[in-house]
């Protein structure tokens, strides 16, 4: 239920002092200038904390397939955002699109996910919008 703010609340507008989604500093680990749509086959989800991880088989330029790990926010964050483990289970083996940012160590096949788009077109926000300043 949403309500209007009442006079007398001590603050609200333009706030910056929130605890962040993440418990770490995104910019140390990932590169917000290397975010892209990554399309492949969803193969697995680890429903755990401090991050949910899901895995996608991606093809490189030489058609070699490798498994990538995508970091999402925590279980609690996803559930309170209306995203369930079943959303991933229902789409195993199907083609999905992750909007994600690469790690600064490119040799590790990990990326920070912002969104995942399921085969039915649903675009789920599973991480911060790093490209637009969230951390």
Partner 1 sequence: MAAAQDAADALPKGGPAPRAADGHPDLSGVWFPGFTGGYSTDHPAAQSQFDPKVTPEEKPAFQPWAAAKIKSMTPVELELARPSVNCQPRGTPGMLLLNPYPTQLVQTRDELIQLNELNTNFRVIHTDGRPHTKNPDPTYAGDATAHWEGDTLIIDVIAIDERTWNNFVGWFHSDQEHVIERLTRTSKNYLIYQVTIEDPKVLAKPWTSAPRMWSLGHEDLEEYYCTDNQELQQYGSLKDKDAGSSK
Contacting residues toward partner 1, per CB under 8 A: 2-6, 8-21, 23-25, 28-29, 46, 48-51, 53, 69, 71, 73-83, 103-105, 107-108, 110, 125-128, 134
Q: How far is the CB of 131 from partner 1 (least distance, A)?
A: 14
Q: How far is the CB of 58 from partner 1 (least distance, A)?
A: 17
Short-list 77, 5, 89, CA closest to 42: 89
DSSP letter for 132, please. G
Q: Cis before residue 9, ω within 30 degrees of 0?
A: no
Distances (CA, A) of 47 to 5, 44, 89, 134: 36, 10, 11, 23
> Shortest gap between Cβ of 67 and partner 1 (angstroms)?
13
CB nearer partner 1, residue 7 or residue 61: 7
Q: 37 or 46, CB closer to partner 1?
A: 46
CA–centroid distance for 61 within its chain: 24
Partner residues linked to 115 by β-bridges: 99, 125
Nearer to partner 1, 78 or 100 (CB): 78
Q: Which is nearer to partner 1, 38 or 83 (CB)?
A: 83
């Amino acid at each position: 239920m949403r309500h209007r703010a009442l006079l007398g609340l001590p603050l609200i507008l333009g706030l910056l002092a929130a605890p962040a989604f993440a418990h770490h500093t995104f910019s140390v680990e990932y590169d917000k200038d290397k975010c892209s749509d990554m399309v492949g086959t969803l193969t697995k989800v680890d429903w755990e904390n401090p991050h949910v991880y899901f895995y996608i088989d991606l093809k490189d330029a030489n058609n070699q397939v490798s498994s990538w790990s995508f970091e999402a926010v925590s279980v609690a964050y996803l559930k309170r955002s209306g995203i369930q483990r079943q959303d991933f289970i229902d789409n195993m083996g199907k083609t999905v699109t992750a909007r994600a940012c690469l790690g600064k160590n490119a040799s590790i096949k990990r990326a920070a996910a912002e969104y995942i788009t399921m085969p039915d077109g649903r675009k789920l926000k599973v991480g911060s919008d790093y490209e637009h300043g969230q951390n």
